[in-house]
């Protein structure tokens, strides 16, 4: 039974890879013909999934390498960490045109260019926080474990496999989950877009939803949403839950606690095929590598002097080359920016202000309803049991998928683009807030609740003395995620091609999108820079401070 399930799973994966491969290497078709029939949905879902899976694997490899490099050398960390911080705050969607055009040019006549472009874009949405998490884990390895590994002369390979990767595993799993959930947002956005006069459309769930909304086909919209939710739920059940249950063994604790369960994992563990595959293929391979590396490390240690010098010189050369390249890029960027007149800069400042107001209004609106609702759900166990999974699903539906549908309804109801932009940001952000507030409210210790009942705190005091301080750290986490999402969303929310026309409202996101459309490189560069700058500044001045406050004063000590 277990073996049959495993076999079926492998078959399914193979099929998805084969059909995607056929598309990838087919001739270039910028505008795929998207069928509106629900029958086509499984295939579209498979296309989308393959894209996100490849992007995720790339991001994981990148994150591991980046984290290791930053953790192993203090000098490298001085460059790599701030760089990561900046990369994290650059709006991914402003890369879209550049990356797509470059990739299409790189593989002329083949669909693979377009596909790789979308993979690369999703990658940029996934990689940074996984890298951050891995770096932080490496730095947090307990001293004595590190000493044991050093004293017993673990090779770099053994150290990675038996200490670093296991220790970082839990953080990697959770960040991967969050990243992939965020990745859908970009996946949907880059499956269908317009660059100037050129139309691009990749077969997938995102393009299906957009085409359906464009045509006002309610039946197709409903089917598309069902497929989207099904994919997300299946991914959760078949991938994340088993992975979380499996990663429980990497929990760094000395006492045994209740472990998360997953029926899929139990199934896999019972499978005879997998067990024998491990015994006969994986284990011998692992053994060969480990021993080869162990012997090599011994040899290398004997003659360590010479290569050390050489490595130093190579390092210096690479560093110098990187510096030259960087200086050249900075020069080019500056000379591009120099083309901007003062009027354009003034306009950009106004746009930035408008979007800033919109983003924060969306956050405030989201918090206004999500905090009371979240506290109510979180403190009422009966409701929480039903509501929490629903909220989880709602939160995982990418806002980009909903946008065309939302526009359709707003236009029918007679609303303008300004309301639509705010609404999209709200949709994208409110769930993060709600989700975190529920978690915070559920974590309020019973003894504190009892104390406030015994002292008969009036409602007002209950909120100011107990509830708000207790959920504060969670609320901050929710708001930070929401804020990042809202800025990114502004790029499509303020400027959108819909039903054959361009709908837009003034703002920084619209500035980026319209500059993209018209190929106005100086404005695109300047607007992207301004947005990154705002995000970094707000992070540094507001969010980081609130985080510190949350970690010190509002931490519930156990």
Summarize as ranges the residues that interact with another protein (CB under 8 A): 142, 144-145, 147-148, 150-155, 158, 162-163, 166, 169, 249-256, 287, 290-291, 294-295, 298, 300-302, 304-305, 549, 552-553
Q: Could you tell me the CA-to-CA distances from 428 to 27, 504, 532 in Å, in that order?
A: 36, 19, 19
289/167 Cα distance (integer angstroms)? 21
Identify the DSSP state of 39: G
Residue with Cβ nearer another protein (57 or 148): 148
Paired tokens of 453? 């009942």
| Shortest Å distance, C-beta 8 to another protein | 30
Report the alpha-carbon distance of residue 226 to residue 224 in Å, rounded. 5
Q: In the complex, what is the shortest distance from the CB of residue 102 to another protein, in angstroms, rounded to a whole number?
A: 42
Task: Give DSSP secondary structure letters for 447-485.
Answer: HHHHHHHHTT--HHHIIIIIIHHHHHHHHHHHHHHHHHH
- Measured CA to CA, the distance from residue 382 to residue 384 in angstroms comes to 6
Residue of 476, 377, 383 lying closest to 432 (CA atoms): 476
Q: Which CB atom, from 259 or from 451, has the smaller least distance to another protein?
A: 259
| Bridge partners of residue 201, in order along the sequence | 31, 192
Q: In the bound complex, what is the minimum distance in angstroms from residue 149's beta carbon to another protein? A: 8
Q: Which helix (H) or strand (E) is 200 found in, with range? A: strand 198-201
Closer CB to another protein, 107 or 554, in the complex: 554
Q: Which CB sits closer to another protein, 292 or 540?
A: 292
- Residue 201: in which H helix or E strand, if any? strand 198-201
Residue with Cβ nearer another protein (287 or 450): 287
CB nearer another protein, residue 78 or residue 553: 553
159 vs 350, which CB is nearer to another protein?
159
Q: How far is the CB of 170 from another protein (least distance, A)?
A: 10
CB nearer another protein, residue 219 or residue 291: 291
- Phi and psi based region of residue 148 (left: phi greater than 0; alpha: psi -120 to 50; beta: remaining): alpha
Tell the residue number behind the tokens 């949905």, with chain if given: 41
57's tokens: 């694997």
Q: How far is the CB of 254 from another protein (least distance, A)?
A: 6
Q: How far is the CB of 545 from another protein (least distance, A)?
A: 11
Q: Which residue has the tokens 């990675």?
A: 160
Which lies closer to another protein via its Cβ, residue 166 or residue 415?
A: 166
CB of 155 to another protein, least distance (A): 6
- Least distance (Å) between residue 98 CB and another protein: 42
Distances (CA, A) of 245 to 170, 232, 239, 393: 10, 18, 10, 20
- Which tokens in the block code for residue 88? 């994290």
Is 468 within 8 Å of 502 (Cβ atoms)?
Answer: no
Residue number with CB closer to another protein (106 or 295): 295
Distance CA 201, CA 207 (A): 7
Decide: helix, strand or coil at residue 513.
helix
Q: How far apart are CA 63 and CA 130, in angstroms?
A: 6
99 within 8 A of 499, measured Cβ to Cβ = no
Give dist(CA 294, CA 290) in Å, integer: 6
Minimum CB–partner distance for residue 158 and another protein (Å):
6
What is the closest distance, in whole angstroms, from the C-beta atom of residue 550 to another protein in the complex?
12
């Amino acid at each position: 039974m277990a073996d049959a399930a495993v076999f079926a799973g492998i078959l399914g994966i193979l099929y998805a890879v084969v059909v995607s491969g056929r598309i990838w290497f087919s001739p270039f078709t910028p505008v795929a013909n998207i069928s509106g029939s629900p029958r086509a949905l499984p295939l579209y879902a498979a296309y989308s999934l393959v894209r996100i899976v490849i992007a995720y694997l790339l991001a994981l490899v990148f994150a591991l390498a980046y984290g290791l490099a930053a953790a192993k050398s203090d000098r490298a960390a001085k460059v790599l960490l701030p760089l990561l911080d900046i990369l994290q705050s650059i709006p991914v969607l402003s890369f879209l045109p550049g990356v797509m055009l470059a990739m299409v040019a790189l593989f002329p006549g083949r669909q693979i260019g377009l596909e790789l472009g979308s993979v690369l874009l999703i990658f940029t949405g996934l990689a940074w926080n996984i890298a951050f998490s891995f770096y932080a884990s490496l730095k947090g390895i307990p001293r004595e474990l590190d000493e044991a590994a050093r004293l017993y002369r673990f090779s770099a390979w053994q150290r990675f496999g038996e200490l670093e990767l296991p220790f970082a595993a839990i953080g990697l799993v959770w960040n991967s989950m969050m990243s992939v959930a965020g990745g859908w947002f970009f996946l949907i956005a880059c499956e269908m877009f317009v660059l100037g006069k050129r139309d691009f459309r990749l077969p997938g769930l995102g393009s299906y939803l957009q085409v359906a909304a464009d045509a006002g086909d309610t039946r197709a919209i409903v089917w598309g949403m069902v497929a989207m939710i099904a994919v997300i739920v299946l991914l959760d059940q078949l991938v994340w839950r088993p992975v979380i249950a499996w990663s429980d063994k990497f929990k760094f604790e000395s006492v045994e606690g209740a472990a998360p369960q997953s029926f899929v994992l139990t199934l896999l563990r019972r499978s005879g095929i997998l067990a024998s595959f491990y015994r006969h293929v994986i284990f011998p391979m692992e053994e060969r590598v480990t021993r080869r590396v162990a012997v090599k490390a011994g040899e290398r240690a004997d003659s360590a002097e010479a290569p050390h010098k050489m490595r130093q010189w190579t390092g210096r050369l690479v560093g110098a080359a990187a510096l030259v390249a960087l200086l050249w890029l900075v020069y080019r960027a500056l000379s591009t920016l120099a083309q901007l007149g003062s009027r354009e800069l003034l306009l950009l400042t106004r746009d930035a202000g408008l979007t800033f107001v919109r983003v924060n209004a969306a956050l405030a609106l989201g918090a206004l309803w999500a905090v009371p609702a979240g506290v109510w759900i979180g403190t009422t166990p009966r409701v929480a049991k039903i509501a929490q999974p629903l909220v989880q699903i709602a939160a995982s539906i990418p806002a980009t998928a909903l946008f065309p549908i939302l526009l359709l309804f707003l236009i029918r109801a007679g609303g303008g683009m300004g309301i639509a932009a705010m609404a999209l940001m709200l949709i994208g952000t409110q769930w993060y807030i709600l989700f975190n507030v529920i978690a915070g409210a559920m974590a309020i210790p019973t003894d504190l609740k009892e104390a406030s009942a015994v002292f008969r705190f009036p409602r007002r005091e209950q909120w100011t003395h107990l509830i708000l301080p207790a959920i504060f750290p969670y609320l901050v986490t929710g708001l930070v995620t929401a804020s990042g999402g809202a800025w990114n969303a502004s790029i499509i929310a303020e400027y959108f091609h819909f039903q054959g026309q361009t709908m837009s409202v003034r703002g920084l996101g619209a500035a980026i999108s319209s500059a993209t459309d018209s190929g106005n490189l100086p404005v695109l560069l300047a607007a992207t820079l301004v947005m990154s700058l705002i995000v970094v500044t707000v992070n540094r001045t507001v969010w980081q401070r609130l985080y510190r406050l949350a970690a010190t004063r509002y931490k519930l000590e156990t």
